Amino acid sequence: MAAGSLADQIEEVANQLRTRLAVVPELAEPHLAMVLGSGLGDVVELLDPEPRLRILYGELPNVPSSSVAGHDGEVVVGTVGGRPVMILAGRVHAYEGYTHAEVTLLLRATFRLGIHSVLLTNAAGGMNPGLEPGDLMLLTDHINLSGQNPLTGANVDSLGPRFPEMTDAYDAELAGRAWAAAARAGVPLRQGVYLMLSGPSFETRAEMRMLRSFGADAVGMSTVHEVIVARHAGVRVLAISLITNMATPDLAEGRTHEEVMAMGHIGAARLTAILRHLLPEIA
């Protein structure tokens, strides 16, 4: 994808979003965007009942739609304490046949609306034996072994610098607020390093041993490319993984997507409890 066409496509999506949001003035200037991972769609109910606006991904130009169960594929915009929040309910993955530039296009379009901070969530396999299914893990760092980078190709200077700094990609101030919100909610919150693979197959036992030796606490197939484009745009990042299963080489049997979805509903309640305290502070 050429640099000019990428910028044009992002701006086309941003313009469509602006037009739709203008119909509801209370929603016109969101500063926080959220991306919901597998099975976490219930988080949408944290928004105030009214006003709300829903836009299917398929209604937006250039935006791919997900074919994976648990990813609704719609933009939901509402308010939290009167402040607008934009939720990308459902994530399109590169393993569905798209490039990282394509699957981050919608998120990058939200940045053109004035988004200052982004909260990313995902379902992940726990590699650290100290984690258990149902745990929530605050991302402190990541390792990109997906084989792609969404910034590959000619840089679009209007979107960010050629070489964005990633040393401290996760915002410390937002993380502190998340810890405080978890404490008020009475929900244990872990922390660790997230490693991204391309998927869609789960890891072999040998791969799990290798990835753990790299320093990974959890493994998944998303999020890192979203962090990269957010930091490229100067947007602050907070990210939380729901540990849906263990990804340790001593597993008695293999994992399934159904297992991920089932644990997603359990973890969603815990995440919702934290976000009920956190969102009013960061929206």
Catalytic residue among 11, 96, 207, 259: 96
| Catalytic pick among 34, 38, 74, 246 | 38
Up-side HSE of residue 245: CA atoms within 13 Å toward CB? 20
Other CB atoms within a 10 A radius of the CB of residue 253 amount to 5
Residue 149 catalytic? no
**Would residue 93 show up in a list of annotated catalytic residues for this protein?**
yes
Does residue 31 have an active-site annotation? no
On whether the CB atoms of residues 150 and 230 are closer than 8 A, the answer is no
Q: Select which of 95, 155, 166, 277 is catalytic.
A: 95
- Is-catalytic flag, 245? yes
Q: Which of 14, 93, 122, 233 is catalytic?
A: 93
Which one of the listed residues 33, 71, 128, 137 is annotated catalytic?
Answer: 71
Buried b (16+ CB within 10 A) or exposed e, 185-215: bebebbbbbbbbbebeebbeeebbeebbeee
Q: Which position among 101, 208, 245, 246 bears the catalytic label? A: 245
| Residue/partner pairs of 280-283 with CB below 8 Å, 24 or more apart | 280/80, 280/81, 280/83, 281/177, 281/181, 282/32, 282/117, 282/119, 282/174, 282/177, 282/238, 283/31, 283/32, 283/80, 283/81, 283/83, 283/84, 283/85
User: Does the active-site annotation cover 71?
Assistant: yes
Identify the active-site residue in 257, 259, 261, 262.
257
Q: Which of 122, 144, 222, 241 is catalytic?
A: 222
Catalytic residue among 221, 230, 246, 268: 221
**Catalytic (active site) residue 123:** yes
Catalytic-residue membership of 142:
no
Told to judge if 253 belongs to the known catalytic residues of this protein, a careful annotator would answer no
Among the options 33, 34, 123, 218, which is catalytic?
123
Catalytic residues: 38, 71, 93, 95-96, 123, 221-222, 245, 257
